[in-house]
Amino acid sequence: MREDQQRPVHLHNHQRNKLFITTKLFTYTTVLPTQLDNFRVAPHCSNSPLPPHLVFPTILQRVFKGSSPYTDFPPPHLRSILKPKRIRGWGSNGDVFEHLIKRVKPKLIVEVGTFLGASALHMVNVTRKLGLQTQILCLDDFRGWPGFRDRFKYINDINGDVMLLQQFMQNVVYFNATGSVLPVPFSTRSGLEKLCEWGIMADLLEIDAGHDFISAWGDINGAYRILKPGGVIFGHDYFTAADNHGVRRAVNLFAQMNHLNIRTDGQHWVIDTALVRNF
């Protein structure tokens, strides 16, 4: 029997109800090609990179309403809470920092994931030794992670507000680096989006925030958008086992998709965008 000769199907009321419900469950909305733009994620990056000498004034204006966060810091109510200095990091003094700073001679470094500023302050010392006028932006939400205060009991909190940002700033003040280092106290994702929107481009980028694949993947891709052509992006934890070597998997996939080479320097991975993989 052909399809057009099939007998009509007679349904009882309870069968019609079931058919109606099933049909409703699988109703699809047709999206026209012109409507797909509603679902695209646009980078909103500036087409005009900001000159290096305007980076700090721009951050001060857009993030701190035009005044330095270090002015009259620390305020009286924090002086008994903060340590004069408390530097803590992981792999923060590796040779990779001096190797890359000598190679790139950066005017601007952006560090994604800062904690208490150990690696940023080490880079300040390296740039001073090399006679470079380098500015460093430290992007971090300065909230730590769930349970981190079990390990870092010396970091106080006030009404649930952990004093990571304030201790970071105190460390910067202690090392007389307030003219070289500025915090950008936001999540890595939102912070990188805004830096891109403002036209802030880095010569050297360090990634040392989340250690799982999703976090590392987002940070690397977001940071890459604000890396100057020919710049260097690098990061810690390439050999860390967390999340089934989540950082390594993210780095490897990123390099493969962008036809870039990876090398390691101590515990760090390094991607020099001036070196394109040959196929």
Q: Which of 192, 110, 188 is nearest to 142 (CA)?
A: 188
Backbone angles phi, psi at 161, to 5 degrees: -90, 105
Residue 178 corresponds to which tokens in the numbers above?
A: 């307030």
40 within a domain of the structure (yes/no)? no
Q: pLDDT tens track of the chain, all 279 residues?
A: 444 444 555 555 555 444 444 445 555 556 565 566 665 555 678 989 999 999 999 999 999 999 999 999 999 999 999 999 888 766 678 899 999 999 999 999 999 999 999 999 999 999 999 999 999 999 999 987 776 666 776 777 777 777 899 999 999 999 999 999 999 999 999 999 999 999 999 999 999 998 899 999 999 999 999 999 999 999 999 999 988 899 999 999 999 999 999 999 999 999 999 876 544
The pLDDT, as a whole number, for residue 92 is 72
66 within a domain of the structure (yes/no)? yes
Is residue 273 within 8 Å of 233, Cβ to Cβ?
Answer: yes
Q: Which of 274, 270, 184 is nearest to 230 (CA)?
A: 274
Residue numbers of the domain that contains 185: 46-272
9 within a domain of the structure (yes/no)? no
The pLDDT, as a whole number, for residue 93 is 80
The pLDDT, as a whole number, for residue 257 is 93
The pLDDT, as a whole number, for residue 207 is 97
120 within a domain of the structure (yes/no)? yes
2 within a domain of the structure (yes/no)? no
19/30 Cα distance (integer angstroms): 22
Domain count, the chain: 1
Q: For the whole model, what pTM was predicted?
A: 0.83
Query: In this structure, how many other beta carbons lie within 10 angstroms of the beta carbon of residue 176?
Result: 9
Find the helix or strand (DSSP H, E) in which 137 lies. strand 135-139
The pLDDT, as a whole number, for residue 163 is 82
Q: Which residues contact 127 (CB under 8 A, 6 or more apart)?
A: 101, 106, 133, 134, 180
236 within a domain of the structure (yes/no)? yes
Residue 22 corresponds to which tokens in the numbers above?
A: 């099933």
55 within a domain of the structure (yes/no)? yes
CATH number of the domain to which 161 belongs: 3.40.50.150
The pLDDT, as a whole number, for residue 210 is 87
135 within a domain of the structure (yes/no)? yes
